[in-house]
A = this chain, B = another copy of it.
Amino acid sequence: MAAALTLARRMARSGVLPLCRQLLAWGRAPRQPPGLPLAQCRAFSNNKIMVELDESSGVATMKFKSPPVNSLSLDFLTEFCISLEKLENNRACRGVIITSAVPKIFSSGLDITEMCGKSTEHYAEFWRAVQEMWLRLYGSNMVTVAAVNGSSPAGGCLIALSCDYRIMVENPKFSIGLNEAQLGIVAPFWFKDTFVNVVGHRVAERSLQLGSLHSAPEAHRLGLVDELVPDEKLQEKTGAVMAQWLALPDHARQLTKSMMRKAVLDRLVAHREEDIQNFISFISKESIQKSLRLYMEMLKKKKG
């Protein structure tokens, strides 16, 4: 409830309310022929996430287009939550494909600038948005398929892990993993829980401790992604997988999904405020701030 209010306030402040109205309009959109992008969807292309719903199939696509690396800023996360909620409440939508419009990158994870040199209040707001994103995605009633068409470290990997199914482009240069430890930070317990639910305790323990980024083939071998496909087959394969999942009666599938994920979702809900406080006190440490600053400078030099 508090979270929803914060989110609503955030929506007002961050100027995404117009988007909200667009989304509302879109919910009432007339049927469109399949395959054609919906007119009202094009309106989204000014934002960080392009959302298209094919009402004939009931499948929406959320395409990250926040160059250079689709980092999960507060704005991005807020838009993500609103878009997802809108789709969730739209009876015409039964499944979502999550993918990227930025070449070679699915998402680079949490935006480090949101965690560096900001106020305690800002850290709290940011972290609540990260939690909200995961609670909505991991707990979504819709079928969620990640079409991982680029590298996907940290929070980017979390998004993929939170879907029902993961298809990755078989390019060995693309990597995926919860590499927080490499940056001197620690993946929160619910990142870990989500990871363990996908790859099991041992693979998770080793990969998290080493902050491993796994190449696509290795990620497939470990079960971190379900399938590898050549780039040109990604869309076709994603559609086929989605159709397979949508062949199931929604109600039974949703109750089954909830049964599998409830324990882990409930754990964050029960410890949400505590988790925010932990994040704030960890991220506020001078040593952590320093290593994040160094990391950002390194990134800048790389770009320069």
Tell me the A residues contacting B by CB distance below 8 Å.
164-165, 180-187, 189, 192, 196-202, 204-206, 208-211, 223, 226, 244-245, 248-249, 251-253, 255-257, 259-261, 287, 291
Contact = CB atoms under 8 A, between A and B. Distances in A.
Nearest to A287: B251
B249 A210 contact: no
| Residue with the highest number of chain B CB atoms closer than 10 Å, among A181, A204, A248 | A181
Contact of A184 (B182, B206, B210, B251): B251
Number of copies of this chain in the oligomer? 3
B202 A252 contact: no
B199 A202 contact: yes
Contact of A209 (B182, B197, B245): B245
A192 B210 CA distance: 25
SS class of chain A's interface: helix, strand, loop or mixed?
Answer: helix
25 contacts: A164-B206, A164-B209, A165-B206, A180-B252, A181-B252, A181-B256, A183-B252, A184-B251, A184-B252, A186-B255, A186-B256, A192-B259, A197-B202, A197-B205, A198-B201, A205-B257, A205-B261, A208-B256, A208-B259, A208-B260, A209-B245, A209-B248, A210-B245, A211-B248, A249-B291
